[in-house]
Amino acid sequence: MSRNDSELLKYYRNRAPEYEQIYYRDAPQRRAELAAEADRLQQLVVGKTVLDLACGTGYWLQRMSQTAAGIVAADISPEMIREARRKSYGCPVDFVQADLNQVPLVGHGFDVVALGFWFSHHPLQDYDRLFDTIEELSAPHGVVWMIDNNLPAEGLTHNSVGTDAHGNNLIARRLDSGREYLILKNYFDEPQLRTLFADRFRIERLTYGVCYWSVVLGSK
């Protein structure tokens, strides 16, 4: 685990109680894009088995649970899982505390692997491992769903402090307590996303909004 990985982990462990504020800001464009994505996601997972990787407080988990057959939700942070467990769900949900690089569920063959707001934190130099992990966890017909931020979603909280040796963008993020963390957070334009995914996956849908991008990827 690199210094930035452990800083990211500390940041999210401490952020768990306040994390969901991001979904409820008074920002109509953000709200509209999130609502539209929730509808698309609920249609995608109808009757499916889902693995929600880095599930956080369960925002997308709760929405998927309205139509999915069953979900396994994994996150490395016990604080995030504690928050997610407080919610009620529309289908059976099992929680696993695990690093997404070592989820002990290889071979389970999930219909959908979901990654909400994770890709931007994943180091550029480590995508092959992430894509291998996703493939190992997916059914042969399975798809991957992701959503993540574009820069306009960040507003004033985007404080880039430069890049690391691999070209990853580093930003400063502050919690309500005032404590500041330096974390890895990359942003992409649409052509970059298409290039990144096209080698390994079939791009079934890519929605590039103002505040967010989302994608559904199938195996080639």
Q: Is 136 helix (H, G, I), strand (E, B) or coil?
A: helix
142 near ligand SAM (CB under 6 A): no
C-alpha 116/C-alpha 37 separation (Å) is 11
How many residues bind ligand SAM (CB under 6 A)? The answer is: 17
Residue from the set 12, 119, 201, 213 that interacts with ligand SAM by CB under 6 A: 12
Binding status of residue 127 toward ligand SAM by CB under 6 A:
no
Q: Are 58 and 77 in contact (CB under 8 A)?
A: no
Q: Is 100 in the site for ligand SAM (CB under 6 A)?
A: yes
Kindly tell me which of 8 and 113 has the beta carbon lying closer to ligand SAM: 8
Examine residue 99 and tell whether it contacts ligand SAM (CB under 6 A).
yes
Site for ligand SAM contains 171 (CB under 6 A):
no
**What are 180's strand-pairing partners?**
174
Alpha helices in the chain (DSSP H): 3-15, 28-44, 59-64, 78-85, 127-137, 190-198
Where are the alpha helices (H) located in 125-219, listed in sequence order? 127-137, 190-198
- The single residue among 48, 49, 71, 75 that binds ligand SAM, judged by CB under 6 A, is 75
- The site for ligand SAM (CB under 6 A) is made up of 8-9, 12, 54-56, 59-60, 75-77, 80, 99-100, 116-118
